[in-house]
Amino acid sequence: MSNSRGGGAVEGGAGAVAGSGAVATSHHLATEAGAEALRAGGNAVDAAIAAAAALCAVYPNNVALGGDLVALVRAPDGTVTFVNATGRAVRDETLEGLRERHGDRMPDRGIDTVTVPGGVRGWSLLAQGRARLGWDALLAPAARLADEHPLARSVAAAIVEDGDALLADPGCRAIFAPDGRGLREGEPLRQPALAATLRVLATHGPDAFYEGPLVEAWVAGLRRLGSRITAEEVAAFQPVLDAPISLVLADAVDGEHGTGLVAGLGARSLEIITSPPNTQGFSLLRTLRELDRLARRRRSEGGAELDPLGAGAGELGRLFAEGNAIRASVLADPDALSTGELLTRAGLRGRHRADDGGATGSETDTDTEAHARSAAPDADGLHPIRPARGDTVGLAAVSDDGWAVSLVQSAYWSFGAAVLEPETGVLFQNRGTGFSLDPAHPAAFAPGRRPPHTLMPVLVLDAADRSLVAVQSTMGGQAQPQIHAQLLLRQLGGASVGAGAGAGVGASAVTRAPRFAIGVQADGDTPLTATIESDLPDAAKRSLSAAGFALREVPPHDEDLGHANLIRPLPEGGAGYTDGPRWDAASDPRSDGSAIVVPPRP
């Protein structure tokens, strides 16, 4: 067997039965766990769950059992379902109490930022009616990895960066600094309590995390630290299935071909599918819609070709900045601000399918859109989502039977709340820091409310026949919609999108290409900062600077620009294609990941 870190490889030989397909994750050991599920006869759903569980063991700075999950699932008939397993605020907490303790803003970490963890029960909902394998098969690799595995490069770096927070918590200190100093790359990471918890879940299923001795243990541990969480509210938590939101990008509009972002793809139209609120998926759709309109306008007026990843990067940066401003002002739990109202305020006209007739409808602007334009880099008043940092895992999985999954799971900040309950080994997220303590804000804290989420999975389908075009996922905090937009632009064949771009570029080239992100990504940044990788084309750097952004240059393949994973089907009869579906899969070199293609049995 072979795999390739930061890229993709085809596994040879026997063992690939009905579950053949591909998986790409941000840690190579988790990718192996997903591939193991495919070889055992599982499908993309099995591979995604096995890989997600393994990531909780090997990437604790990014994801944990005490975190949340969102996913898009494409069924063989082309239907797409959104799984929202984001947890809720503690019901016995109050806005007034938080303001008394913390003033006018939530703390970054600590016990008051812990919300009910939704991810584990999200696995259960994802599996229902879809997965083939039992929980013992799906979770056994994660338990083995929790027993012991060599510490990855980025986890070791995070232990150094977040050392003070880890040392302040006895549970974290015992695992990540057992001898009084932080573990280093390649040293064994041993998590015996977490391994035992995973084996309980492998035997009894995910509900054991929410009912019975396990939940009694970790809830008691959190309450000893001052949390008001109860076992009853944890048991009552249920993830939900929801309709995704989408944007159709059409090549032809009113009989005119070749004018928009997908020009050059013939009569093909693409549907970009992502997650509704309380996630930030709408920000990606708004950016792509406005960029498509701009491309059409430029061509109709005979102007210069739109080059959003090159000489036109300043235009794209302005759209990213507007998206940041809109998200910060409206993103909230739909229980507080309905999805329809939020999409209307965001300029997506309050429709779940936000295509405006193929991204080509009228250009009537809402008040929010007009406000967002005024909040571009030459104006004051941009407010980024808090906090800027986002440590998350995204994964992509497909199987030859037609299933596809884009899954994102997270602890939010690096090591989440930096609260690890020692009896169960569970590390908890700090999603509560995303709440506002301003009672007038849509995302104001309220008991039982879901916080705004940066997580957002992405699928791309052919809008006509519902065939799969791409499965994307990434980490990146507030920059996730920006990273997804750049991944998509590099795959589209119409607009000029910079060096090495276009529909024929392989998945590895797409994930390796230089990126930029607008907004606060690191200490010292402002909403007008453009974090750029040093190998970004000079034309893009000049365009961003001319648009009013302050450039902060980082090395190529810097983690501030995300860990992306991408899987696309190879064209039938094309290079690398033999008998049956074949996949072009890649994992970002910015991560510790890999991609594996498991072929059908010869």
Residues 343-376 pLDDT 10s = 777 777 544 444 443 333 333 333 333 333 333 3
Which residue, chain included where needed, has tokens 């690398």? 576
Confidence of residue 499 (pLDDT cuts 50, 70, 90): very low
Going by DSSP bridges, is the β-strand pair 516-518/468-474 parallel, antiparallel, or unpaired?
unpaired
Confidence of residue 297 (pLDDT cuts 50, 70, 90): confident
Which residue, chain included where needed, has tokens 């309905």? 338
Q: Which two tokens stand for residue 228?
A: 């008001």
What CA–CA distances, in Å, run from 449 to 63, 95, 281, 337, 442?
A: 22, 11, 19, 11, 11
How far apart (Å, rounded) are the C-alpha atoms in residues 428 and 209? 13
**pTM of the predicted model as reported, rounded to 2 decimal places:** 0.89
Task: Supply the pLDDT for residue 370.
Answer: 37
Which residues neighbour 220 within 8 Å (Cβ) at sequence distance 6 or greater?
none
Q: Taking a C-beta distance cutoff of 8 angstroms, is the pair 490, 501 a contact?
A: yes
Which residues neighbour 25 within 8 Å (Cβ) at sequence distance 6 or greater?
31, 34, 51, 55, 393, 395, 396, 565, 587, 593, 594
Which DSSP symbol is given to 151? Answer: P
Specify the range with the lowest mean pLDDT, choosing from 45-59, 196-210, 242-256, 484-498.
484-498
- Segments in 186-247 forming alpha helices (H): 192-204, 213-224, 231-236
Question: 3-state secondary structure string, 1-13?
Answer: CCCEECCCEECCC
Of residues 516 and 382, more confidently modeled: 516
Nearest to 489 by CA among 320, 300, 255, 275: 320
How many CB atoms within 10 Å of residue 581?
19
Confidence of residue 19 (pLDDT cuts 50, 70, 90): very low
Task: Supply the pLDDT for residue 478.
Answer: 87
Task: Supply the pLDDT for residue 493.
Answer: 52
How far apart (Å, rounded) are the C-alpha atoms in residues 10 and 1? 8
Confidence of residue 601 (pLDDT cuts 50, 70, 90): low
Q: Taking a C-beta distance cutoff of 8 angstroms, is the pair 451, 113 a contact?
A: no
Which residues neighbour 139 within 8 Å (Cβ) at sequence distance 6 or greater?
50, 53, 198, 199, 201, 202
Give strand ranges (E) for 149-279: 149-150, 188-189, 240-242, 245-250, 269-274
Residue 496 has pLDDT above 90, yes or no: no
Of residues 478 and 209, more confidently modeled: 209
Q: Report the mean per-residue pLDDT for the chain.
A: 86
How far apart (Å, rounded) are the C-alpha atoms in residues 418 and 481? 26
Q: Taking a C-beta distance cutoff of 8 angstroms, is the pair 522, 568 a contact?
A: no
Helix and strand counts by DSSP (H, E) for the chain:
19, 22
Residue 410 has pLDDT above 70, yes or no: yes
pLDDT cut 90: percent of the chain above it: 72
Most confident of 289-303, 467-481, 559-573: 467-481
How far apart (Å, rounded) are the C-alpha atoms in residues 553 and 533? 6
Specify the range with the lowest mean pLDDT, choosing from 373-377, 413-417, 455-459.
373-377
How far apart (Å, rounded) are the C-alpha atoms in residues 165 and 363? 48
Mean pLDDT in residue range 520-524:
83
- Residues of 473-483 as b/e, b for ≥16 C-beta within 10 angstroms? bbbbbbbbbbb
Confidence of residue 220 (pLDDT cuts 50, 70, 90): very high
Q: Is 206 exposed, middle or buried (0-12, 13-18, 19+ CB in 10 A)?
A: buried
Confidence of residue 600 (pLDDT cuts 50, 70, 90): confident
Residue 564 has pLDDT above 90, yes or no: yes
Task: Supply the pLDDT for residue 371.
Answer: 36
Task: Supply the pLDDT for residue 345.
Answer: 75
Task: Supply the pLDDT for residue 7.
Answer: 52
Q: Which two tokens stand for residue 157?
A: 């770096």
pLDDT cut 70: percent of the chain above it: 83
Of residues 462 and 10, more confidently modeled: 462
Residue 561 has pLDDT above 90, yes or no: yes
Residue 377 has pLDDT above 90, yes or no: no
Which DSSP symbol is given to 322? Answer: H
Confidence of residue 47 (pLDDT cuts 50, 70, 90): very high
Mean pLDDT in residue range 281-294:
94
How far apart (Å, rounded) are the C-alpha atoms in residues 260 and 247? 13
- Residues of 253-266 as b/e, b for ≥16 C-beta within 10 angstroms? eeeeeebbbbbbbe
Q: What is the dihedral of CA 209, 210, 213, 215, to 10 degrees?
A: 90
Mean pLDDT in residue range 328-355:
70
Three-state secondary structure call for residue 459: strand
How far apart (Å, rounded) are the C-alpha atoms in residues 212 and 197? 12
